[in-house]
Amino acid sequence: KLWTVYIDEAERYDKALLEGWRRDMDGMLLFSALYTASLTAFVIESYKTLREDPQDTTVSLLTQISQQLASQSNGPPESIGELNAFQPLLSSLICNTFWFISLVLGLTCSLLATFVQQWTRDFIHKTTMRPSPVLSARILAFSYLGLRRFGMHTFVDVIPILLHASLFLFFAGLIGFLQPVNAPLMYLMACTLFVFALVYMSLTLIPLISLDAPYRTPL
């Protein structure tokens, strides 16, 4: 009777814990899939600013040739000088650095969420075998202690932190992307990001001050 009560309570606790993890990972997978797809569209456009446009090189050469031909009437022809080496803008470097890191973090979150789903299925499979009440109780205790020993709870908590960091990097890169395009729009985006960061920090600190606050962030 005692083992049956223990097994029922342990299974109820484990089921609630694993179901919560599974639902969280489902949401993470959906959000990260949509997010990385949108981010990829931005990266496709932004990485072009890291290399020289062949059309710009052609225009520069034609301009120099035109200037050389125009100067022939005033004296001996001048040789065409070397073209200046291409240097990407600092804003382009910052933007692409943030966005590529953000993309890697987003894809990593998807992979880790898939791992968690697989591990929870394996845990349920191992703990639902019932050869005997005593052995079943030992399997439940052994498996749960394994979760605690190897930091499964911490591992699950790290995934949303990475996803949130990826989102912040995207917003930061967006400021760099807009800097050479439109300064007022860049400042507007910077102010929006600043307000968003303040709200995020407030939601992080409020539970530390008021224990009954319903807000929570992965930090």
Query: How many beta carbons lie within 10 A of that of residue 189, not counting itself?
Result: 18
Any domain includes 152: yes
Any domain includes 77: no
Return the sign of the alpha-carbon dihedral for residues 207, 211, 216, 217.
positive
Of 13-27, 91-105, 187-201, least confident by mean pLDDT is 13-27
Domain of residue 15: give its range. Answer: 2-57+88-169
Residues ≥6 apart with Cβ < 8 Å to 59 = none
Any domain includes 75: no
In this prediction, residues 40-62 reach a mean pLDDT of 69
Residues ≥6 apart with Cβ < 8 Å to 207 = 213, 215, 216
**8-state DSSP, 1:** -
Any domain includes 110: yes
Q: For residue 171, give the nearest of 196, 154, 151, 137 by alpha carbon.
A: 196
When the pLDDT of each residue in the chain is averaged and rounded to a whole number, the result is 77
**Separation between Cα atoms, residue 138 and residue 131, nearest integer Å:** 11
- Per cent of the chain over pLDDT 90 is 2
**Separation between Cα atoms, residue 18 and residue 21, nearest integer Å:** 5
Return the sign of the alpha-carbon dihedral for residues 133, 123, 218, 27.
negative
Give the pTM. Answer: 0.73
Any domain includes 161: yes
Q: How many separate domains does the chain show? A: 1
Any domain includes 176: no
Any domain includes 180: no
pLDDT single digits (tens) 60-78:
555 655 655 556 555 555 5
The C-alpha torsion from 169 through 203 and 194 to 99, rounded to 10°, is 10
Any domain includes 63: no
The pLDDT score that the predictor gives to residue 57 is 55
